[in-house]
Each structure stands twice: as C-alpha cells, then as structure tokens.
Amino acid sequence: MFDERCEVLILGATVAAAGILAAAGQKAVIVESRPDAGYEFFGALRTVRGKHISPVTEQGIALHKRFAARDSLRACTPLFYACLQGGRVYLSAQVLDISRQEDGFAVTICDASGERRIFAQHLVDTRAEARYITAKRLNVLFMSGRVAGIDLPAEADMTEARRQLAEKLPELAAGEEIVAVADEFDLTLADFRTLEYDGILRIASAGYADPISAFDAGVLLGEELMGR
C-alpha cells in the first residue's frame, strides 16, 4: 500500500528541515516542491537579523563554526546543502494528498518518477504559513555586497513584487549595479515557534533570525520526535 515509510515526513526543504534531518537521519523524509533548498534564507538573499547566535545543539554548534569561517551568508550555501547530502530528500515533488491514519499520515507526492505514497508517523511542516506572514520583502544584492529590498504587503505575490521592483528600481539601485534579485521572499512572521494543529507539527523556518537558529530549532524538534 505504501511505497516508502518514515518516522517523520518534513514538508519544505528549509534550513529547519535540515536540522530535523540531522537529528533523525534516515528516519526522516523531506518533500519540497521547489528545485532548491534553504530558499527562505539563501534564495531570499537574507542577511542575519540577530547579532548573537547561540546554538545549543551539538549539530547546531558545529554548523555555526563552519558558517563562521565564511565571509557571508551566501557563501555558506554549499555548507547548508552538505547537511542534506545522503538524506531522503525529494526536490521538485508536489504533495497531492495528506490523509490522517490511525497511527500517522499517508502522504501522496508526485515528482519526476511519478506518484509515491509515503507513510509517516509524524508530519512536520517547516514552510511559512500564509496566515502568519505579516510582511514580505524582495531583496536585491548589489555589487558592493549591499542588500536592499522593496517592502510588500503579506498578500503580495511574485508577479506583484516584480512589478513593483521594476517601478522602484531607479530609486532602489541609485546608480549601483544589481548582481542578483532574490528567488524567494524575505518573510516576517507573526509566530513561528513550534505549533501543533490537525496533528501536524509546524515550525516555520523563515521566522528565525538566522539559519543557524532555524537549524538548531530543527535539531531540537528532531531529537524530540526521535525520543531523545
């Protein structure tokens, strides 16, 4: 009946998801509709919001050390992807159905191979839920390393963001050359701590001030789920 089983199925290949994976290993499966991962920080061209990063988990501390050796958050992207290596990760996979079972969840996904039914004891959604998003920002990166952005209402979509970006470019760029426009929104969330409803655990990775904190929170949740 099921093509695959896992203890925890994680929606979104976010940084928090990587933290859960670090704790759960092969007992976890990550399902992501996008072709990339960690987009809420790296794809969003985010800068670190908090000054003091104090991970508490062993894995979080180790990752923090590796990140600290690089001169920018963007330069840490390969280090983040290394956290996903060897994991059961499905990128470009669409979730078709989630149904509650007596002892867990039945999740039907579809990727390039086709449909796949996965049984999971726990389901964790690490993506940002629309109802908690209070603001969005589309960041751009300049040649100098400066990051600036246009602020958007929570309901704005990428089309609207691109329209506004085109309008405000002269003011935003002020003669400086942009080297990259973000692939994803830099989100501000009203609440992002671990919540549970409908039996699904929710931990919005984008809500954390920095990727190390999101990863660390993921590790803690993963350890809890694994009964450690």
Partner 1 sequence: MKLAYLYEKNACTRDVADTVFDGSFDAIVCGLGTAGSIAAALLAEKGYRVLGLEAFNCVGGISSAGGIEIHYFGLPGGRGHALAVEADKMAAEYPMPLADGRRITLEKLLLERGATVCYNSAAVGVYMEKDRVVGVRAATPEGVRSYGCRVLLDCTAEGHVARMAGCDGYFGRTSDGQAQPFTSVVSMTFGGKVGYINLDTGRVDPRDGQAMSAAIIDGRATQRPEYPWMHKVIRPMPLPGIREGWRLDAMEMLTAEDFFAGRYTAEPGYYSYSDIDKHGEDVAFESELRGDWKVGANVGAWNFSVPVPWKVILPKRVDGLAVVCRAVGVDREMASCVRMLPDMYKLAEIGAEAADIALSRDIPLREIPYGELSARLTASGCLDPAHDRGVWIDGKADFDGKPLQPRKIEWITEPEALAEPLATLCPGIAIWSAKKMGYTCVPVLRKLLASADENTRKHAAFALAAAGSREGLSILRETVWERDAVMLQDCRKYNQHRGPMAIYHLGRLADAESVELLGGILTDPCEVEREIYAPSDRYPAVRGFRVLYFHFMAQSVAALVRIGNVHESERGRIAEIFRTAFADGTYAARLTNRPPCSAEANYVRNLKNIAEKAIQGWSDGKEFAF
DSSP SS3 for 89: strand
- Site residues for partner 1, 85-144, by CB under 8 A, read 85, 87, 89-97, 110-116, 140-141, 143
Chosen residue from 77, 126, 139, 213 binding partner 1 by CB under 8 A: 77
- Stretches 59-67, 161-169, 195-203, 211-219: which one binds partner 1 (CB under 8 A)? 161-169
Chosen residue from 54, 134, 146, 176 binding partner 1 by CB under 8 A: 176
Q: Number of C-alpha atoms within 13 angstroms, CB side, residue 112?
A: 5
Q: Is 227 in the site for partner 1 (CB under 8 A)?
A: no
Residue 60 phi, psi dihedral angles, 5° rounding: -65, -40
CB of 127 to partner 1, least distance (A): 11
Selection from 101, 100, 104, 107 nearest residue 30 by Cα: 107
- Site residues for partner 1, 192-221, by CB under 8 A, read none
Our measurement of the distance from residue 143's CA atom to the centroid of its chain's CA atoms, rounded to an integer in Å, reads: 26
Percent helix, strand and coil across the chain, each to the nearest 5: 35, 30, 35
Selection from 147, 194, 150 nearest residue 47 by Cα: 147
Chosen residue from 56, 62, 68, 180 binding partner 1 by CB under 8 A: 180
Choice between 128 and 220, CB closer to partner 1: 128
Please report which helix (H) or strand (E) contains residue 200, including its range. strand 200-202
74: tokens are 């963007």
Choice between 56 and 62, CB closer to partner 1: 62
Alpha carbon distance 102, 135 (integer Å): 38
208: tokens are 């954390």
Q: Is 165 in the site for partner 1 (CB under 8 A)?
A: yes
Chosen residue from 40, 125, 184, 216 binding partner 1 by CB under 8 A: 184
Q: Which residue ranges make up the site for partner 1 (CB under 8 A)?
A: 3, 33-37, 39, 42-43, 45, 70-71, 74-75, 77-78, 81-82, 84-85, 87, 89-97, 110-116, 140-141, 143, 157-159, 162-163, 165-166, 169, 173, 175-181, 183-184
